[in-house]
Amino acid sequence: MGAANVRVGASLNLGILWNARWICVDILQLPTHYPSLITHYPFDTLESVSKEYTTFIMIHAVYPGSFDPLHNGHVDIIHRASRIYDRLTVAVANNPLKETGFFSLEERLSIVHEVVKGMPNVGSDTFEGLLADYLRQVGAQVIVKGLRAISDFEYELQMAHLNRQLNPNVETTFIMTATRWSYLSSTRVKEIARFGADVSRLVPKASLAQLNRVFPQKRSEGVQEAPS
Ligand code: PNS
């Protein structure tokens, strides 16, 4: 969390640590409602302690994807992003333009929900339409994407530029997929599971349960997890 002075007018949610408690205000409200906020929260007390308020800008990041289904590479990105950003929403895309998702939106969401439920600053959601609009809707400032290889880069670069055009307040950030998961994709996971091999080392338990439900349990030796 970065410390900064109050930045009036920025399109950010602002968290102020006062009296060992977080006070969250929508900073967009500050220019017009500043006096009422002062009455509402005892800023004057705070001011007597320190002329310059120490504030924390709360960064809300969104990690979007099809997650069809969520695999360990995704889970790794979720863990790492949750350590960087104050709040992370894993947003499952309902993408009508994409060829049918294998798992339904509800199934994909329930897997994500199961995986993130023990992580205090991570939530799950679905979105439809433009990602840039979704970020505006939930007041998030950052998009998180995982990058596996240079082959991902060209597509992601295009998306990052487009998203910035669509919502200039948003930054796309990339987290390099851990080496051990860099070969992994949801498509390959489904393919391996379809032919009956064990994918338990590649996906979280919640995804495995869905895969086992859909594909008959005729397990051959399966996939060993790659060395780190
Ligand atoms: O896991 P995926 O399939 O690579 O995720 C792709 C996703 C859902 C992140 C991407 O298709 C997306 O952002 N879709 C929403 C529509 C959108 O905003 N497109 C970009 C601007 S043209």
| pLDDT, position 51 | 46
Torsion of CA 10, 11, 17, 19, to 10 degrees: 90
Tell me the CA–centroid distance for residue 176 and ligand 1, in Å.
18
For the question of whether the overall pTM of this predicted structure is more than 0.85, the answer is no
Give the separation between CA 68 and CA 189, rounded to whole angstroms. Answer: 9
Active site residue 83: no
| pLDDT, position 139 | 96
Q: Is the CB of 69 under 6 A from ligand 1?
A: no
| pLDDT, position 149 | 86
Catalytic residue among 87, 148, 190, 207: 148
Atom of ligand 1 nearest to the CA of 68: 1
Give the separation between CA 11 and CA 25, rounded to whole angstroms. Answer: 11
Active site residue 40: no
Catalytic residue among 7, 40, 98, 161: 98
| pLDDT, position 228 | 57
Q: Is the CB of 204 under 6 A from ligand 1?
A: no
Q: Is the CB of 61 under 6 A from ligand 1?
A: no
Give the separation between CA 142 and CA 66, rounded to whole angstroms. Answer: 18
What DSSP element (H or E) covers 26? strand 21-26
Give the separation between CA 61 and CA 172, rounded to whole angstroms. Answer: 9
Cis link prior to 69 (omega < 30° from 0)?
yes
CA distances 89 to 23, 54, 218, Å, are 21, 26, 36
Active site residue 98: yes
Question: Which CATH number is 60-182's, of 3.10.450.50, 3.90.400.10, 3.40.50.300, 3.40.50.620?
Answer: 3.40.50.620
Atom of ligand 1 nearest to the CA of 127: 15
| pLDDT, position 125 | 98
- Phi–psi pair at 103, nearest 5 degrees: -95, 150
| pLDDT, position 47 | 46
| pLDDT, position 41 | 40
| pLDDT, position 202 | 97
Domain ranges of the chain: 3-57, 60-182
Q: Is the CB of 131 under 6 A from ligand 1?
A: yes
Weakly modelled stretches of the chain, pLDDT under 50: 1-13, 18-24, 26-54
Q: Is the CB of 130 under 6 A from ligand 1?
A: yes
CA distances 188 to 160, 195, 202, 203, 223, Å, are 25, 11, 10, 11, 11
| pLDDT, position 15 | 54
